[in-house]
A and B are shown apart, each in its own frame.
Chain A
């Protein structure tokens, strides 16, 4: 059934699909792990019950999200071999050690302390348990460090040489790890993870405040989340802008695609707000533009000349429509998130933080916005680097495994069916947990109750089921 299909296209579809599913979970668990560490620290410092209640409440959700992140992550780690074996052969000496360090310094740390974090409070005591929570949180950040370093090296390769077998080898490890786009990418992603989590926490808090404004737990989580959105969203927009300038320097074609600049502009490029990029005709149709603004943003000068894709050989063009639109979705959501933060600040100032249904509804609506923004951001950066896997050096078509299309096609179908079945169920379970407000004396997975197990007691599970 896949005769005539291109195995490379199918492999790309498979990578994009599995990656899109995977990225959601680490983005959530990076933020949530840090949030849990903060909650437990506050509990240890103040002894206030509301913090440990919130900790136990979010711990259950963390356990489900983390489990899904682990299993979808194992798939990612093997996909380099199964579908992209030429890439693995050629870049293994550089990318391989970075990913191996991710396993050694991050995955083991998270996995090793996760059990104690989930089940061990009564076995090891609060202080050692806090250490376990902290280790899990630090593990998620170290993981982000290495995987973004590896990804950034593929986008802006430095510190390498090429050997006789055509493999990339490291000439300077520090330059390879701390490659030019890495700091920007790391900051942008970690902030995105924190914002994503704060929007979920804030959305859940707001959901329960809409029903009862006096619930202690939802008040605390809503307030904490809104502080995060207020303070971090503007920083994120700034970080994104800096990342964009870095991309313009190292991957200009990607920025041209993001901006929809098929044509070069000698004296000031307009900012195309919306439009329909037509790859065949090499122009953006129905464009709504602001004159000179693109030059102002990218070059900080109204009349600065800006090169377009007409300066790039056609075979090196990224697919503009996807890059163009995913970028707009990400930026649009970024500004909406900042709007939510400012709105909450206004309400806070007026003392209406917990009494404004409008704010709460807005926050509920924005609950999933972080996930969509993260996905859109990844699509922008990954599609914008095409047609290369190692930017300018190794083409995507030269990276794939020597596989027949039916093999890649059937595995793609299998992944689609399995992922939708499994992860839909997981999301439903998470939503069920979220549908309940945190209760006083919230049971974590730590209380010594009958047949206690991963995350929740069967009794509480039944209660959740009953509510639905």
Chain B
């Protein structure tokens, strides 16, 4: 499968990049919310919140860029996908409302603190489930009628989409656990280690289940992955997954600080690349290609100028913000 390079392709990569950066950055802080119920101690929860309090807002902005960028670069796909994913999208937005305000609110009340802890955990879980389900719903195909979504209100809900929803919950939880290994100390870090082991096993099962189920969704996926000569290009993906998994197991065994988190990101990158291989060049699988959905060239060029100048700048000052708040967060000491 050769990939012709044109504006639509460039934009497909930019949107894919924005969504991936979102998954990488908000993934671990959503994961912290998912893990919250497993850390009932108030002091632990304070530390967990403090590891992301200064940066979560920037993490979430990538979601707005992914959505906004899609409306700008592929308006037709945005217009078809959003109504198709109506319920999961609304659920995600409501989850994000609860989760986002919990960052500020839970410090301002003693009485209602447990409620905001619940809002943080529940909001993170709902947001993640909704994102995973939306992904599954896109993969399984969307009914398109002219320039509109043509399916029903509940089409998104299938066994497959529930499976991808659960898989993403496990994946984000693993990112959260390995993030805690990197950012915390003592008993909290120990527990994060143990959780990482269990979640890694669960995530491998989830990757396996989704990988096995995907080719059954459509002949196109099967051919993309298994037909000759594509298999030469696609085979390295599962091989790389196996290699990264081996490294991750070793890093966890060595109780390494940083490696587990970044290797988990590696697993995410490979899974994500797998998705790209399955979908390309469709943006709405089996219905709308990136060229059909593309905005006119002058819209894409106008934004391309901004993206090429501003995204490196954004990555620069985001990295600086992370650097400012680098290191372990200890209870009783705040940042160091």
Using a CB–CB cutoff of 8 Å, the interface residues on chain A facing chain B are 63-64, 67-68, 70-75, 77-78, 80-82, 85-86, 88-97, 99-105, 107-116, 118-120, 123-124, 163, 165, 167, 169-170, 173, 401-404, 406-407, 411, 414-415, 418-419, 422, 425-426, 429, 432-433, 448-458, 461-462, 464-465
Chain B residues within 8 Å of A, Cβ to Cβ: 43, 46-47, 49-50, 53-55, 57-58, 60-61, 63-65, 67-69, 71-73, 75-76, 78-83, 86-87, 89-90, 93-94, 96-98, 100-101, 103-105, 107-112, 119, 145, 147-150, 153, 295-296, 298-299, 302-303, 306-307, 310-311, 314, 317-318, 321, 324-325, 331-335
For the complex formed, measure the closest distance between the CB of B322 and the CB atoms of chain A, giving whole angstroms: 9
- The 20 listed contacts between A and B (C-beta, < 8 Å) are A64-B108, A81-B83, A85-B83, A96-B68, A97-B72, A97-B299, A100-B72, A104-B311, A108-B318, A112-B314, A115-B54, A167-B296, A401-B82, A403-B153, A411-B86, A411-B90, A418-B97, A422-B98, A450-B331, A450-B334
Residues of the A chain whose Cβ atoms lie less than 8 Å from the Cβ of B55: 115
Q: Which residues of B contact A118 (CB under 8 A)?
A: 53-54
Question: A residues within 8 A CB of B90?
Answer: 82, 411, 414
Query: Inside 8 A of B57's CB, which chain A residues have their CB?
Result: 67, 70, 110-111, 114-115
Given A74-B63, A74-B64, A81-B82, A111-B58 contact (CB < 8 Å): yes
If the complex has contacts A119-B325, A455-B108, are A92 and B296 also in contact, measured as CB distance less than 8 A?
Answer: no
Question: Are A426 and B105 in contact, CB atoms less than 8 angstroms apart?
Answer: yes
Q: How far is the CA of A118 from the CA of B57 in the complex (A)?
A: 12
Q: Point out the residues of chain A lying under 8 angstroms from B43, CB to CB.
A: 451
10 A-B pairs with least C-beta separation: A92-B75, A96-B72, A81-B82, A115-B54, A89-B79, A71-B100, A111-B58, A85-B79, A452-B334, A111-B57
* CB atoms of A170 and B299 under 8 A apart: yes
Interface secondary structure of A, over-half rule? helix
- A85-B80, A92-B71 given as contacts; is B321 within 8 A of A112 (CB)? yes
Q: How far is the CA of A108 from the CA of B100 in the complex (A)?
A: 16
Contact A86 B72 (CB under 8 A): no
Find chain B residues with CB under 8 A from A462 CB: 110
A461 to B43, CA, bound (A): 15
B46 pairs with A93, CB closer than 8 A: no
Indicate the member of A74, A110, A114, A165 with the most B CB atoms within 10 Å.
A74
For A96, the chain B residues whose CB sits under 8 A away are 68-69, 71-73, 75, 295, 299
Docked complex Cα distance between A407 and B107 (Å)? 35
Q: B112 — nearest CB in chain A belongs to which residue?
A: A425
User: Do A119 and B94 touch across chains, with their CB atoms under 8 A apart?
Assistant: no
Closest B residue by C-beta to A89: B79
> B50–A88 contact, CB under 8 A?
no
A273→B334 CA distance, assembly (Å):
59
- Evaluate contact between B324 and A124: CB separation under 8 angstroms: yes
- Of B101, B318, B332, most buried by chain A (CB within 10 Å of CB) is B101
Q: Is the CB of B334 within 8 A of A414?
A: no
Contacts of B104 in A (CB 8 A): 63-64, 67-68, 426, 429, 454-455
In the complex, what distance in Å separates the CA atom of A268 from the CA atom of B100?
54
Smallest CB separation, B92 vs chain A (Å): 8
Known: A82-B83, A461-B110. A418 touches B325 (CB 8 A): no
In contact, A113 and B321 (Cβ under 8 angstroms): yes
The answer to whether A401 and B83 touch across the interface, beta carbons within 8 angstroms, is yes
Taking A104-B65, A402-B149 as known contacts, 8 extra A-B pairs with beta carbons closer than 8 A to each other, sorted by chain A number, are A70-B100, A74-B63, A99-B71, A103-B64, A167-B75, A401-B83, A422-B101, A426-B105
